[in-house]
């Protein structure tokens, strides 16, 4: 599993914005920037939609005021689902990244297999990445939502 002090691996994501598909890389997203990242097991799922994403939407300005250049939400969903979820959640201040095949989640060791429920998904976590290097990392215990929330991340900045 990735840890504080580790560099993010090279990865490519999918993003649908304004009807156009793009494929930003970790280099595009993190080089020369301080970024808050949080990951969820799935878009439109109960805890993710009721608490995790809304917390970051509500605190986005405060998080960015602490020197964060961007806030990224990652999920093992496709870009169409991530775009729709962002729009449904008023998440204009959040970059909604699709890790469609789970390759990023696997590369950082934060994937989980939910079997027939949904297959490979991301574990729930938050982290701060400074110029591609992890400086803060909060990984949830299975089935929990206690340390990856926006308030905890904001407090750690």
Q: What is the pLDDT of residues 110-146, one digit of tens each?
A: 998 887 777 788 999 999 999 999 999 999 998 899 9
pLDDT of residue 27: 97
pLDDT of residue 113: 83
Q: Domains (ranges, CATH) in the chain?
A: 15-156 (3.40.30.10)
pLDDT of residue 114: 80
pLDDT of residue 37: 98
pLDDT of residue 52: 96
- Residues in Cβ contact with 120 at an 8 Å cutoff, skipping those fewer than 6 apart: 76, 101, 102, 105, 106, 111, 112, 113, 114
Report yes or no: 37 and 129 within 8 Å, Cβ to Cβ.
yes
> Active-site residue numbers?
48
Q: Which ranges of 10-157 does DSSP label H, i.e. alpha helix?
A: 26-30, 46-47, 53-65, 79-88, 103-107, 150-156
Cα(114)–Cα(144) distance, rounded to whole angstroms?
15
Report residues of the chain scoring pLDDT below 70.
none
């Amino acid at each position: 599993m990735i840890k504080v002090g580790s560099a993010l691996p090279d990865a490519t994501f999918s993003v649908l914005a304004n009807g156009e598909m793009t494929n930003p890389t970790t280099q595009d997203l993190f080089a020369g920037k301080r970024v808050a990242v949080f990951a969820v097991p799935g878009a439109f799922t109960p805890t993710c939609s009721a608490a995790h994403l809304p917390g970051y939407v509500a605190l986005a300005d405060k998080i960015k005021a602490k020197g964060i250049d961007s806030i990224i939400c990652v999920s093992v969903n496709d870009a169409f689902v991530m775009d729709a979820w962002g729009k449904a959640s008023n998440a204009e201040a959040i970059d909604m990244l699709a890790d469609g095949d789970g390759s990023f989640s696997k590369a950082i060791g934060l994937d989980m297999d939910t079997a027939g429920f949904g297959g490979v998904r991301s574990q729930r976590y938050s982290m701060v990445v400074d110029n591609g290097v992890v400086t803060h990392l909060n990984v949830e215990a299975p089935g929990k939502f206690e340390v990856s929330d926006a308030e905890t991340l904001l407090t750690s900045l």
